[in-house]
A and B are shown apart, each in its own frame.
Chain A
Amino acid sequence: MRPILDIADLGIAIAGRRVVRDLSFSIAPGETMALIGESGSGKSMTAAAIMGLLPPGARIAERSRLRFDGLPLRPEDDAAMRPLRGRAMSMVFQDPMSCLNPFMTVAGQIDEALQRLGTGNRAFSSEVDTGSREENPSKQRDGEFSRFGETRKYSSGQRRARILELLALVELPDPAAIARRYPHELSGGQQQRVMLAMALAAEPRLLIADEPTSALDATVQAEILRLLKNLQRRLGNALLFITHDLAAAAELAHRIVVMQAGRAVEYGPAAIVLADPREDYTRKLVSTRRMLAAPPQTPPVARASEPVLRIEELVHDYPARRILGRPFRSLHGVSLAIAPGETLGIVGESGSGKSTLARLAIGLARPGGGEITLFGTSIARMARLDRALRRRCQIIFQNPYGALNPRLSVEAAMREPLELLGLSNRDDRRRIEAALVDVGLGGDHLARYPHQLSGGQRQRVCIARALLSEPELLICDEIVSALDATVQMQVIAMLKALQAKRGFAMMFVGHDIEIVRWVSDRIAVMHRGRIVEQGPATAIVTAPQDPYTQTLMAAMPGSIGSATAAGRGEWRTPFKEHVG
């Protein structure tokens, strides 16, 4: 069968830097191809090139050959690509919130996609287009592709019916109500479904999904992936699925291309590539997944002694945004305790109140009610922590780009807490160097500035800085969420090793259950400002009691080894089968 998309020797350069080199692959009609890679591997650039949506300044190499259903594609010729987009090929993107037009209703945005369906030539006259004379050359080129989407030309009544049909297709409840809404009135999952409905409006032969679930919560991710799979079965379109998530790729794809630094390092059927990776890089990716699936067994911490942090019936409100509005209650009576040397994981989806809890625990915000006891001192009514307390507890944030001052060198940034906490003395430099060595960096990083470091290195600097004061409690707020999978693994493994050496307690906040489980002794699950379940990490993951925890665990991807071994097994693989 002729491939729907055939790419040979694709090269893309941005400002002289080659981001994609010699990439070749093809997709058969109705097939799912996964493009796997970490940030900067060139996978999104490849998708943008196929759609002709490359950013300004990006150039496609001369010898690149792209063919769509046998006909050559010219991605750099916008006028030639336009008739194809939204008809023969369409695309959904990563962050549905910002990818939908906030000024238009759902119906309006889908309607736009429907309006231009019809014959390639006539579609232009129906649009706001005063530059029709310039359009002529592209109309001739259109001819080649005019067999796509020529069949329908909707009246407004038909379009209305089709909008509702599409919204129902992506399994949105009450399509008529959704159609009237604006994007900000929808949840993240609903937004992504609307994006899908829009992309499927023309029944494209190729759908490109660029990290379609990365910006969504775990339970929603699983639903969207299942929907993508079902829709493809029903509509028979080819799917190019771009992801950094091996488990998702294993679930969805027939074949896989693994990309690293712009090159395809491995290429083949999904089951074979993932079960028996040949290349070093793929092996690293796969072993990272396997490592996550098998957390280290740590002996239970003795909990008899006085906890470093005790929180009782904590309540917190965000003030109302409008006069007469009601304040938003982010925490409804949360209670927990962390023993010395223990790691408590806090798991929850976005908006569950977990970051608010982390900030309250260290006195960065003030509670509306309840009690917080830090090292035996009640801090709930304190305006600010004194030096002694601040020295003993430290916090690390999600975004290492924002947490380091771009104008301070690593050494200056690390000197700051020493001076602020009154710990500064003559061998500062030696101590800073030692702290950097502890996190796998070294003295040669002292003079560098944040922009000269990678994301993982920046987060290591943040960790080293937090550990300088030898705290007894470390609060980690989503500290690896912004990092690539392999880097995530390195960072948490290093953190665990440091904890074993120094014995500090940790509150580890995260949304990725596997990572939190890997790090934590005990886990507290948060949902809508409440802790719904709390207990030993293994028990929470393998035998969740609360219904919400159960859905959360069900949405967790199975380990790829077994998923591929069982052919292409069920998405909702129960976790306990993979423990031990």
Chain B
Amino acid sequence: MTRILAILASLLRGLLQAAFIVMLTFFLCRVMPGDVVDVLGLEGGLSAEQQAEMRHSLGLDQPLPLQLVNWVGHALAGDFGRSIRFDRPVGEMLGTALPVTAKLAALSFCFGVALALLLAVAATARPSRWLDAAIDVVNTWSIAVPTFCAGVAAILVFSIWLGWLPVIGGLLVPVLVIGLDNAGQIVKSLREELREAVMLPHVRTARAKGLSPWRIAFAHVLPAAMPVVLALSGLVLGGLVAGSLTMEVLFGLPGLGSLTLNAIHGRDYPIILAAVTLIALALVAINTVVDMLHRLIDPRLS
């Protein structure tokens, strides 16, 4: 009962955060100099009367709070409006873009966290200079090499020099690039956290029981470091949205990132808002899951 209450509370907190993010995005869009009509006007040479008429028909001449309320009302009913530039339903456009991004983000997240965990746990179970060196390399790589550089380099190596890209195709290279970057962000902290967890008294008990180093690392050290693992994973998730945006543009993937970037350039408000809402809700959902996991792992919290 209390467990369910706590989860509901964290869900509610998350939804409030999401609402705040959407609202902020709404107003920030409008603070940017020039609106969609200006952009279209520059491209198509519209007269001042035509522009005013267009603003009126799009509802852009109404007060901002009223526009927000209208949008929220429609959005709650599942209607995200039509793209101003492409004149297609926003829901449909997101529907085709979302799976691409979701797959990219999920795969690179899993790859990154798995790689970091594997390196850190291995270095805990069997401390060696080589593993520590490998951890340092991955860590330095992610600090020093921006993903777009790594992405360009990967294109150069895989598709131009090796000519593999047609064979591998699609997501593999961007997943490797983002995943490696994610792993580098967390692996060092993870290693340090595990190094400290090894000093815990219950780990000494496990050693006194004569368990193997791998069993100790997985069953006794890792659970103790789990809160930090989860917190670090959350950190990576936040960065994933930005990371996948770069990769989508670089590799020409028709995902949420490309869509949003184009929409921002064209001030295509409905798409921006819908995409941001979607991303915010996804993050809230993930955070709730992480919170539940945390409670599931640590019996003292239930």
Contact = CB atoms under 8 A, between A and B. Distances in A.
Nearest to B298: A103
Interface stretch (A90-98, A366-374, A446-454): A90-98
A189 to B, nearest CB: 17
Chain A at the B interface: SS class: loop
Nearest to A110: B209
Interface string A112-133: 1100100000001001111100
A116 B300 contact: no
Nearest to A48: B204
B143 interface: no
Contacts of B201: 93, 95, 98-99
B214 A101 contact: no
A124 B207 contact: no
Contact of A127 (B2, B204, B215, B298): B215
Interface in B1-59: 2, 5
Given A98-B202, A322-B2, A104 B209 contact: no
Contacts of B300: 102, 182, 184
A99 to B, nearest CB: 4
Given A102-B300, A322-B2, A86 B210 contact: yes
Chain B, interface residues (CB within 8 Å), range: 20 to 34
Given A53-B204, A103-B299, A323-B5, A112 B224 contact: no
Contact of B202 (A85, A100, A113, A129): A100
B297 interface: yes
Contacts of B125: 131
A83 B207 CA distance: 11
Contacts of B200: 98
B103 interface: no
Interface string B212-227: 1111001110011010
B212 to A, nearest CB: 5
A90 B220 CA distance: 18
Interface in B271-285: none
Which of B200, B209, B214, B223 gathers the greatest number of chain A CB atoms within 10 Å? B209
B208 A90 contact: yes
A51 interface: yes
Contacts of B202: 98-102
B176 to A, nearest CB: 23
A91 to B, nearest CB: 5
A263 interface: no
A130 B209 contact: no
A103 B224 contact: yes
A84 B208 CA distance: 9
Nearest to B2: A322
B126 interface: yes
A93 B212 CA distance: 20
B156 interface: no
B137 interface: no
A513 interface: no
B61 to A, nearest CB: 47
A51 B204 CA distance: 11
Interface in B252-302: 297-300
Nearest to A88: B210
A87 B220 CA distance: 20
11 contacts: A53-B207, A85-B210, A90-B208, A99-B201, A99-B202, A100-B202, A101-B206, A127-B212, A131-B213, A322-B2, A324-B2
Interface of A: 51, 53, 78, 82-87, 90-91, 93, 95, 98-104, 112-113, 116, 124, 127-131, 134, 182, 184, 195, 198-199, 322-325
10 nearest A-B pairs in the assembled complex, by CB-CB distance: A86-B210, A85-B210, A103-B223, A86-B209, A98-B201, A182-B299, A101-B202, A99-B201, A91-B208, A127-B212
